[in-house]
Chain A
Amino acid sequence: MAGRDIRRTGFILACLVPGLVLYLGLVIVPFVRTIQLSTFRFSGLSTKMVPNGTENFQKLWESEQFWWALRNNFTILVVVAPILLALSMALAHAAVGDSKLARGMRTVYLFPNLISLVAAALIWRAVYHPTVGLLRSTGLKGPQDGWLGDLNTAFPSFAVAFIWVSMGFYTMLFCAGLAGIPAEVHEACELEGARGWRKYLWVTRPLMWPVRRVAAVHVTIASLGVFALVNVMTEGAPSNRTETMLNALYRMMTIEGSFGKAAAMGVVMMCITAVSSSVLWLMFRKNPLEGRR
């Protein structure tokens, strides 16, 4: 008996230890150390680490970059993301089904999600560019400094690119949700005369609750974690109008060389991510249909 227990324990350990060592050493410990490092002043390895209390956070508080980053991520989360999900839901209603056209179109929809975000960012840079731009060639000249160079149009232009990148994914997700609704439900709706908006609000939407929860989680993570798209498209310019939290962290670390401030930015983001996750959990705690059947 003892030999069997030892073999079992040995097997479990052999399975878990390699992954756990890597995960703890390169993911968990760095995450925790971000908190510690945020209370030091240092720039890279060569410099001495000087404890400076909450100075990094005060510097963040006083910087315009920080507030623009917060503001932009918040706008993405509460304005752009809902638009993205609404558009995807509408498109999913059009693209659901097994017809050859629908299947072919859905194949195409995933393209932006598959290609590198750097390539997607390049595409949109090229679309908006003041001299080679596709939009310029079609006559939509836009502001003098280009769509991405103008203080007023930069963020909305970025938002369009953000929606373009993920809309296919959410459309496919909602298509799968729609396809999962049993045929009897559609028949019952037909009999009762429920159609259009009424059918959506009272039948389809509640039935899609599990898929909508998944979409909400995904879109929240994606909205707070915007980096590559902004980093390649605009680097936060002009005047922080497209700055995001992660891009700010990156710039503080590499361009400014203030590692402590970058870590403080990381801590702020961790808190915001944790709060958003809790809010999501509260919003989607219980399937409203459960227990009502």
Chain B
Amino acid sequence: MKILRSVLMVLFALSVVLPVAWVFFSSIKSNSDITLSPFAVTNPPAWGNFEKAWTEQDLGAAFVFSLLVTVLTIVVLIPIGSMMAYALSKYKFKGSGAILGLVTMGMLFPNLLAAVPLFLTMVKIGLDDTLLGLVLAYVAYSLSFTVFVLHGFFSALPDELGEAATIDGAGHWSLFLRVMMPLAKPGIWVVLIFNAIGLWNEYNLAKILMLKQKTLPVGLSDLISQQQYAGDWGAIFAGAVLVMVPVLTLYLVLKDKVQQAMLAGAIK
């Protein structure tokens, strides 16, 4: 029984690791080696694939743009999201429950449902195809999850803390910034990591909103559909490595935090 369990475990792990590893190996192989000897490791490594992907196919620009979008979105999202979650969890007023419901309801519906009007709105306010437009859309569509998770963390902090601090003369802002935010740090980590990974990988909104400046996932997907006839698999695999490496590195460095973040919406 124990052996069966181990076999099952290892089999699925292999089905995950082997294709990913194959992409990594293939990214440093010439196109003919990829087709003719798919499993061999070739010497010398064909680093040229990365050069091609980075410069010729413009994935370098897409990489930098994705990084910028991810960082900017996080910088705007985390303060706005924490303020909303905090106010909705610690200040009960008429309609606070309804607002929370409205904000978290966004998690149920796929964002692309609103693709047509969202695109039209962006054009109307002159932010289509711009960095700012994409960042604002990302912040808006990331709020549901962020507020949902942080609301849980803030609600778990005892109200007496606030009462004690208020007696000591702390105002609303200093109570929030000096007392509550530091205590909600585990929650901030969760939304930070979850959103950073999700935004780096985001495809749907970037695909419909960004026509000229592409993010890395969209750039890679365009490369895949262009190159399917040209057959330049080396550059495609190099592009895939570019999109996977930052996330997998983060995972290896902060394994427990990433696991917690990915399951956070599900398990408290």
Q: Which residues of A does B touch, CB under 8 Å?
A: 7-8, 11-12, 14-16, 18-20, 22-23, 25-31, 33-34, 37, 45, 90-91, 93-95, 101-102, 105-119, 121-127, 131-132, 134, 137, 164, 167-169, 171-173, 176, 211, 214-215, 218, 221, 224-225, 227-228, 231-232, 235, 246, 249-250, 253-254, 259, 262-263, 266, 269-270, 273, 277
Contact = CB atoms under 8 A, between A and B. Distances in A.
B112 interface: yes
B262 A114 contact: yes
Contact of A227 (B4, B13, B22, B112): B112
A131 B144 CA distance: 43
A19 B19 contact: no
Nearest to A104: B13
B117 A34 contact: yes
Contact of A254 (B201, B208, B255): B208
Q: Which of B136, B139, B263 has the most CB of A within 10 A?
A: B263
B22 A22 contact: no
Given A8-B172, A254-B208, A249 B115 contact: yes
Q: Which of B86, B116, B236, B266 has the most CB of A within 10 A?
A: B116
Given A11-B87, A116-B244, A231 B117 contact: no
A16 B99 contact: yes
Q: Give 8 nearest A-B pairs by CB, closest first.
A: A225-B110, A15-B87, A30-B114, A26-B140, A15-B83, A30-B117, A33-B117, A11-B172
Q: Which of A105, A221, A270 has the most CB of B within 10 A?
A: A105
Contacts of B108: 221, 273, 277
Nearest to A106: B259
Contacts of A249: 112-113, 115
Contact of B240 (A106, A112, A122): A122
Contacts of B9: 91, 94-95, 101-102, 105
Contacts of B26: 126
A170 B108 CA distance: 18
A115 B20 contact: yes
Interface of B: 4-6, 8-10, 12-13, 15-17, 19-20, 22-23, 26, 34-35, 38-39, 80-81, 83-84, 86-88, 91, 93, 99, 102-103, 106-121, 123, 136-137, 139-141, 143-144, 147, 171-173, 176, 197, 200-201, 203-204, 207-208, 216-218, 220-221, 224-225, 231, 233, 236-237, 240, 243-244, 247-248, 251, 255, 258-259, 262-263, 266-267
29 contacts: A12-B93, A15-B87, A22-B136, A26-B121, A29-B117, A31-B109, A31-B113, A37-B116, A94-B6, A94-B9, A101-B9, A105-B10, A109-B12, A111-B17, A111-B248, A115-B20, A116-B216, A126-B26, A132-B233, A134-B22, A173-B266, A176-B263, A215-B266, A224-B110, A253-B119, A254-B208, A262-B115, A266-B114, A269-B110
Contact of A107 (B208, B216, B255): B255
Given A27-B141, A31-B114, A134-B19, A126 B233 contact: yes
Contacts of B255: 107
Q: Which of B91, B103, B117, B172 has the most CB of A within 10 A?
A: B117
B121 A231 contact: no
A164 B15 contact: yes
Contacts of B140: 22-23, 25-27
B173 A11 contact: yes
A124 to B, nearest CB: 8
B112 A246 contact: yes
A270 to B, nearest CB: 6
A132 B38 contact: yes
B106 A45 contact: no
Given A12-B91, A91-B9, A116-B203, A23 B123 contact: no
Contact of B117 (A37, A90, A211): A37
Given A105-B9, A137-B38, A221-B107, A123 B143 contact: no
Nearest to B81: A19
Contacts of A102: 9
A140 to B, nearest CB: 13
Contacts of B200: 116
A253 B204 CA distance: 13
B107 A116 contact: no
